[in-house]
Structure 1
């Protein structure tokens, strides 16, 4: 899939994320970016996810946490597409997030997430992602304990 189509996909993903930061998470929309079953890998574990009402509840809890630490906006700095085969790609997305807890000066944090994408009849969807130590990043920035 051309990089331009992934830019469109992740631009929509980020718009949905930012909408959630404003207190109105559309969990159905966010879930539409994922396959029915997916993998989430962080620094300490790998978890399987199911795209169901439990995922919606997890998303709502995550947005509550992000609001608590002052998350304001997420933007894409760049993305790099690596084809795997005809139906799968790896997309590394470089983000910049803005935080302002309790009206403090804006802090910008750069991070990246690697997504594994599956091409289906309805377009691309995320079947796995790998992220760094999100909580340590927040602690290092003084946003979380």
Structure 2
């Protein structure tokens, strides 16, 4: 069974890789290694399915460039809850806090939740899907876009 301590450790590593990728594109391979060979993303903008590989890394590269341009500084994992499906699958609800610096040089912290679909594959946890809210609306609300 996948347990909370294992998932919390996974998302601590996820946050580290994410923060490294905010500093440099060199960390994108580490971020990509967190994902399964295929995945599904559900946002207010729609449902997207994709595959891990060069295309995902290019999408992440553009995404991190956008985050840097709007003042993203650090992502912190505040809390994790886990709902197991079976021995090797679960939903992890992750409470994130992102630090951003707006155009007026004010530091803004935005709290948000993402639900991740996780699987244990070859002894390692991997993300095979996520469900998130409207981050673009939050960025606009705080003057980051």
TM-score, normalising length: structure 1: 0.95
CA distance in 1, matches of 2:45, 2:22: 26
Equivalent in the alignment of 1:29 = 30
Equivalent in the alignment of 2:91 = 90
User: What is the total number of aligned residue pairs between the two structures?
Assistant: 144
1:15-67 deviation per Cα after TM superposition (whole angstroms, max 9, x unaligned): 01001111244221111111101000001310001101011100100010000
CA distance in 2, matches of 1:136, 1:2: 33
Equivalent in the alignment of 1:70 = 71
Correspondence 1:6-85 to 2 at 5 A: 6-85=7-86
8 Å contact kept, 1:17–1:25: no
Equivalent in the alignment of 1:135 = 136
CA distance in 2, matches of 1:81, 1:58: 28
Superposed structure 1 runs of 4+ greater than 3 Å apart? none
Structure 2, unmatched stretches of 5+, are none
Equivalent in the alignment of 2:100 = 99
CA distance in 2, matches of 1:137, 1:84: 31
8 Å contact kept, 1:73–1:98: yes
| Distance apart, 1:96 and its partner CA | 0.5
8 Å contact kept, 2:91–2:115: yes
CA distance in 2, matches of 1:84, 1:40: 19
TM-score, normalising length: structure 2: 0.95
| Distance apart, 1:102 and its partner CA | 4.7
| Distance apart, 1:122 and its partner CA | 3.4
| Distance apart, 1:101 and its partner CA | 3.2
RMSD (CA atoms): 1.2
- Quick check: 28-37 or 95-104, which moved more? 95-104
8 Å contact kept, 2:102–2:108: no
